[in-house]
Amino acid sequence: MDKPYPNDYYKQLEEIQAADFVLVELTLYLDTHPDDGQAIGQYNQFAQYSKQLKRAFESQFGPLQQGSLNSSPNVWEWSKSPWPWQI
Amino acid sequence: MNSQPPPFTNVKSYVPFRGPCDPCPPIGRKYFSTPPSLYLGFQPPGLPQFSPADALRKGTLWKVFYDYYDNPYRKGAGKPRG
């Protein structure tokens, strides 16, 4: 399907990026502050949220990363276009 | 953003010594960036944060570390902000 993706694709992707960025920042913070419970709570909340966003995105638009589920049993979707730099 | 101006400047500058035999034309004032992380030391817990969408745009989760960069050598941006 080569038609450009609906706007929702980009919105969901940006939401995933924002959640993952928060996880990266919190990971770096928690590396030096292992006993900050509030940050750990926030980390778990965003980890769960990010997993949920990715599950919804992948069921709709295909695998996001190596190791994601391949949704259709007879078509290998990982190498299908569009590639990340084409979207 | 925090209302009161930050106690430090994000960009500092100096003028290198110009000798009579310098081969290249002078750059004049040279700038270097001094981000907030230099002044914070060990990060205290519970600092105010940006929203996730803002954090993605601004490049940091915590408001205190936000460091706007503007090329001081560009004509228009002669006066370094902050």
The tens digit of pLDDT for each residue in B38-65 reads 999 899 999 999 999 999 999 999 999 9
Within-domain flag for B68:
yes
Q: Strands, E, within B1-82: which ranges? A: 11-14, 30-33
Tokens for A50, please give them. 């990010």
pLDDT above 80: residue B76: no
Interaxial angle between packed helices A7-32 and A37-61, expressed in degrees from 0 to 180 and rounded to the nearest 10: 150
Give residue B51's domain range. Answer: 47-82
At B6, which amino acid appears? P
Q: ∠ CA(A41), CA(A27), CA(B56), 5° rounding?
A: 95
Yes or no, beta carbons of A25 and B60 under 8 Å apart: yes
Interface test with B, best of A11, A14, A16, A22 (most B CBs within 10 A): A22
Number of domains in chain B: 1
* Distance (Å, whole) CA A43 – CA A25: 9
pLDDT band at B8 (very low <50, low <70, confident <90, very high): confident
